[in-house]
Amino acid sequence: MIKRVRSWLNQENSQQTHQLSPDNIPEHVAIIMDGNGRWAKRRGMPRIVGHQNGMKAVKRTAIAANDLGIKVLTMYAFSTENWTRPKDEVDFLMKLPQEFLAIELEELIEKNVQVRMMGHPEDLPSHTLSAMEEAVAKTAGNNGLILNFALNYGSRKEITESVKTLGQEVRDGILRPEDITEELISQRLLTGELPDPDLLIRTSGELRLSNFMLWQLAYSELWFTDVYWPEFTKDHLVEAIANYQQRTRRYGGLS
């Protein structure tokens, strides 16, 4: 894999790409894709045009992540709070996964990508859920990039549900309270066996987590950019990773 990444890096002309060390590519990158609405508004267009262009950035970024040898890319596509937006916008956002997959699934399969979904499926419209489930099933045998869509995802709800599950297991006598460890809590979250994100990217200049992966981001490196999500390109991903590679991760210890 390192050899493949090295050869891809060599083909790239951007100065920044050359600066990347193929031995220190983050295993899991999580992205809060923000700024679709502002991007559209700035151009005098309706917000949904921003989301439509945001979908193109999803494709660019997934392909770039795959080429770079990132193992997991988690993308915050719809939060448990986004239902409060106007119905037209919610309906549009709920159609995007099936549109995206209708256009891109073939190429994702070819590139060995595994599509996953992380969120609460019960509230999703059936057309959204069935498109996602089909993509997950069709790519389940692949072993390349895990492209993990956070869809109807909210971290506090996720943590609450995992606490309920553990409580039930204690009540059923499967677990004792003293058996509950950080690892066990991690396993009961929607990320399951996935590694915690090494790097979190948020676009559009907002500096907050917005109920995204609150447990899993405990020791992640954070990178914020003013760029609106529809403008995000491979170069921005490379810039974020170059910045990540300059950090010393201490996990509360000393370097």
Q: Annotated catalytic sites, by residue?
A: 34, 82
* Displacement of CA 186 from its chain's centroid (Å): 17
Which residues from 226-245 bind ligand FPP, rule CB under 6 A? 229
Q: Is residue 134 within 8 Å of 98, Cβ to Cβ? A: no
Which residues from 56-85 bind ligand FPP, rule CB under 6 A? 58, 77, 82
- Rounded Cα–Cα distance for residues 25 and 200 (Å): 13
- Rounded Cα–Cα distance for residues 88 and 85 (Å): 8
> Which of residues 20, 48, 54, 80 is near ligand FPP by CB under 6 A?
54
Residue 81 assigned as binding residue? yes
Q: Is residue 87 within 8 Å of 48, Cβ to Cβ? A: no
- For residue 197, the 8-state DSSP code is P
Which residues from 15-44 bind ligand FPP, rule CB under 6 A? 33-38
Spatial CB neighbours of 169, under 8 Å, sequence gap ≥ 6 = 175
In our burial notation (b when 16+ CB lie closer than 10 A, e otherwise), range 52-77 reads: bbbbebbeebbbbbbbbbbbbbbbbb
> Which of residues 29, 55, 73, 108 is near ligand FPP by CB under 6 A?
55
> Which of residues 9, 25, 26, 51 is near ligand FPP by CB under 6 A?
51
Residue 186 assigned as binding residue? no
- Rounded Cα–Cα distance for residues 49 and 40 (Å): 6
Q: Which is nearer to ligand FPP, 44 or 253 (CB)?
A: 44
- The size of the interface with ligand FPP (CB under 6 A), counted in residues, is 19
Beta strands, E only, 91-145: 114-118
Q: What is the token pair recorded at 116?
A: 């996953």
Number of residue whose CB is nearest ligand FPP? 37
Q: Is 100 in the site for ligand FPP (CB under 6 A)?
A: yes
Residue 123 assigned as binding residue? no
List residues forming the annotated binding site for Mg(2+).
Answer: 34, 221
Which parts are annotated binding residues?
Answer: 34-39, 47, 51, 79-81, 83, 85, 202, 208-210, 221
Residues belonging to the binding site for substrate are 35-39, 47, 51, 79-81, 83, 85, 202, 208-210
- Residues near ligand FPP (CB under 6 A) are 33-38, 51, 54-55, 58, 77, 82, 93, 96-97, 100, 149, 204, 229
